[in-house]
Structure 1
Amino acid sequence: MKFSAQNPVKSLHLVSLGCTKNLVDSEIMLGKLKDYKISDDATNADVLIVNTCGFIDSAKEESINTILDLHEQRKDESVLVVAGCLTQRYQEELQKEIPEVDIFTGVGDYDRIDELVDQKRSAFTNQVFLASDTNERVITGSSYHAYVKLSEGCNQTCSFCAIPSFKGKLHSRTLQSLVKEVKSLVSKGYTDFSFVSQDSSSFLRDQGQKDGLEQLINEVDKIEGIKTARILYLYPSTTTLSLIDTIAESKTFENYFDMPLQHITPSMLKIMKRGKGVEKLNELMDHMKSKPNSFVRTTFIAGHPGETQEDHEALCEYIANYKFDRANVFSYSTEEGTAAAKSDALIDQEIIDQRADEIGEIIAKTTQESLEKEIGKTFEVYIDGESDEHEFLLSARKTTWAPDIDGEIYINDNELYDENNPEQLAFGQIYTVRVTELSGDKLLATVIK
């Protein structure tokens, strides 16, 4: 994702890779460097920043390629800065192997990026940076939607995940800080929010409170001016039936349930250290699906060490039967320092990829079925602007859906149209639409209200 902003003096080009949590940190860096004019042109920028991802091999490769590409493009005397998860995780190796980079920093100095750029020096603070309501951000990509980060770090011990090794233990923001930030964003015109973290359902558990996310929902419901919100990244062992009920009863939060399951058989959940029995997991998933207009999203890992063909087949059957609205599958990637990396039951890469492909085909089918169910329905959408597909189509998103990941709806007709007032549809606003058909993976709809 690439960004732009304004200032007559020096220019800045920033590339944010990886997850939306990284995006929030990138927006904080843009806020600290607000005296720079932000440019889409890397060749003429005075400062270039890559906020890297270090989660899995493909993300690491993308980060390295982006760094080297920007170095090739940049002008003389420009400053190349590399920040984020990859540099935090491999700080010594990267500083040694990529001398082209002028400044290295990790995940603890986003709010000091202006100092580091001015002094042209690298720094790695031991503590992970935790956003607060005092951090001024430059919200990117939307005039009405913003991500809000609940916490940093994670207390889970998943066998395949290296995040706690460089992000540390769970550190939740205070409820007061979050409410203050949301109110500030609402005062600037933002009406739609996605709350994110490594493990959102554990919010405030590090402060001894097991219902932190429920408290947040209740407080956000009191804020005037918010139209919609959703929570991303629930964790099985810290999600309760009560939390699901609180989301469903909220006047603000959509019935959007995003819980990465990774697997479903008892043996694999134990190997993966996922901490929830299959019976309890099924109870949670069924409770989510039972809510009105619920939308359930998840992710799976194919080919984790110890996964048998029977485990794989059971997972395929579960995905096909549950019929998730959206899902993703990742081929297992061995990450240094994780429990899975030490396993003596590693699976051949060809088998891993084959299993991922099989799961991907099932997911494609269930996603298509989810979209087909929308034909003929009436619901609310945000209209984002003109579509990339055609100048006469508008791009919209169902209010339930998360931006950029759950799909796009094309508006191809407007029953409110008045030839004396042809520009009635305002971008960033909510309209009621009726879905008329499905073309490929895109719903087509008519504005009716």
Structure 2
Amino acid sequence: MKKLHVVSLGCTKNLVDTEVMLGKLQEYALTQNPQEADLIIVNTCGFIGPAKEESLQTIFELHSVRKKDSLLVMAGCLSERYKEELQKELKEVDIFTGVGDYAKIDKLIEKKKSSFSDQVYLIRNEERLITGSNYHAYIKLSEGCNQRCSFCAIPSFKGRLQSRPLENITQEIKNLTAKGYKDFTFVSQDSSSYLRDQGIADGLVRLIEEVEKIEGVQSARILYLYPSTTSMHLIDTIAASQKFVNYFEMPIQHISDRMLKIMRRGIGSAKTKELLYAMREAPESFLRTSIIVGHPGESEEDFAQLVTFLEEFDFDRINLFAYSDEEGTSAYEFNDKIPQHIIDERLAILDTIVKEKTQKSLENDRDKTVEAYLDGTSEESDLLLSARKKIWAPEVDGEILINDSQVDKISIGELYKIHINEVVGDKLVGTLVSG
């Protein structure tokens, strides 16, 4: 049986597409060792500078260790965004493909042929091989984006919004629950615009209502809400749901009215804050956001407003990004670029706040009993078990280390009650007390 080594870089939306490719290549045995692989696939990210560098470095590293006569495939966003240049310059790669041919990967490998379809691929009914969990799966809502943020190049190579039919999504979830999956995370570039391309303004509300009816769904959450397309009705619907946890990820990028206008976010500071405080008021809510530091035109006053708000408002998690100057974006043409040393200084200031907020969020769980999914043995130690709070998104929000159990028989992927005894660094430590 031939062996396949796969690396999926970037976001979880990429991971779904990688799982589609794995579903098409089930005649291959998966291997963690690229040196023994007959086929190597890298699903690349082309969002910002560091992600592009990671993608290229991964290609070079895998090429340096692969065996003779193996095939190296470069797929995904970076490959799509720079297809002409990469095909000309990257002699290490045997097959190039972008964001349109994931479901045809078996045919491309069979023919040893590169391909870039005009249409961006959006999963429909294709079987995919879920990775990393026996109980959790990501569900892609849509592809592309109708927003025109000044700093983002995604619409230039992913195109306009195209939503999956609702019945297509519900059928996929039913198929997965039949296989034992019970926890779902919904992803897209702009989840709160789901179905707007089909003239339906409350698409996410409809999705929530339909998922509520599916037997076997134990919990769910939605990632990537966009401020200008998130409504109070949506927030209330999530808060009232029996299956969707009160998880709100809404990248605000900034809080200064002036910067929000420059960034073309389509919404001002007052409305942004109104949404955030409504999310915060939902029972036991969890809020994650993203901030861009050093966007062209960001003044000291703009930055001071951002610092003040992040100190005042209790986000649970915050992603910080240094502005990345990306060709194909409107900000790329701006003249008032911020010097890198100032961006670094501002990042350092915000990083201190981010760590304080994360620590405060973790400390809120001390001495509480929380619901969490058991993931198995922790990478920290073979003597510790690892769990994830039911409300958290996988991998990004944290880990509970279990050093004691009052339950004799435990199963990976099941929901347990865990009493949190302490916070150690960025981890919760607790005792498994009941199923």
Whether 1:439 and 2:413 are equivalent positions in the alignment is no
- SS state at 1:254 partner: strand
Whether 1:353 and 2:344 are equivalent positions in the alignment is yes
Output the TM-score relative to the length of structure 1. Answer: 0.96
Mapped contact 1:331–1:352 kept (Cα < 8 A) = yes
Count of residue correspondences: 434
**Residue 376 of structure 1 corresponds to which residue in structure 2?**
367
Once the two structures are TM-superposed, the CA of residue 51 in structure 1 deviates from its matched residue by 0.3
Q: Deviations over 1:338-367 (max 9, x none)?
A: 010000110101111111121111000011
Output the TM-score relative to the length of structure 2. Answer: 0.99
Once the two structures are TM-superposed, the CA of residue 100 in structure 1 deviates from its matched residue by 1.6
Whether 1:66 and 2:58 are equivalent positions in the alignment is yes
Q: How does 1:26-425 map to 2 (within 5 A)?
A: 26-132=18-124, 134-417=125-408, 424-425=409-410
Once the two structures are TM-superposed, the CA of residue 278 in structure 1 deviates from its matched residue by 1.2
- SS state at 2:393 partner: coil
**Residue 427 of structure 1 corresponds to which residue in structure 2?**
412
Which whole-Å CA distance do the structure 2 matches of 1:441 and 1:66 have between them? 28
Q: Deviations over 1:48-73 (max 9, x none)?
A: 10000000000000000001111111
Identity %: 58
**Residue 3 of structure 1 corresponds to which residue in structure 2?**
none
Which whole-Å CA distance do the structure 2 matches of 1:100 and 1:382 have between them? 42
Once the two structures are TM-superposed, the CA of residue 416 in structure 1 deviates from its matched residue by 2.9
Which whole-Å CA distance do the structure 1 matches of 2:233 and 2:26 have between them? 42
**Residue 421 of structure 1 corresponds to which residue in structure 2?**
none
Which whole-Å CA distance do the structure 1 matches of 2:348 and 2:26 have between them? 44
**Residue 21 of structure 1 corresponds to which residue in structure 2?**
13
- SS state at 2:428 partner: strand
Q: Deviations over 1:179-225 (max 9, x none)?
A: 00000010011000000000000000000000000000000000001
Name structure 2 gaps, 5 residues minimum: none
Which whole-Å CA distance do the structure 2 matches of 1:384 and 1:176 have between them? 30
- SS state at 1:353 partner: helix
- SS state at 2:376 partner: strand
**Residue 4 of structure 1 corresponds to which residue in structure 2?**
none
Which whole-Å CA distance do the structure 2 matches of 1:218 and 1:208 have between them? 18
- SS state at 2:36 partner: coil
Amino acid at match of 1:361: T
Mapped contact 1:259–1:299 kept (Cα < 8 A) = yes
Amino acid at match of 2:63: H
Name structure 1 gaps, 5 residues minimum: 1-8, 418-423
Structure 1 segments (4+ residues) deviating >6 Å:
none
Mapped contact 1:328–1:360 kept (Cα < 8 A) = no
Which whole-Å CA distance do the structure 2 matches of 1:440 and 1:69 have between them? 32
Q: Deviations over 1:245-286 (max 9, x none)?
A: 000111100000000000001000000000112111111000
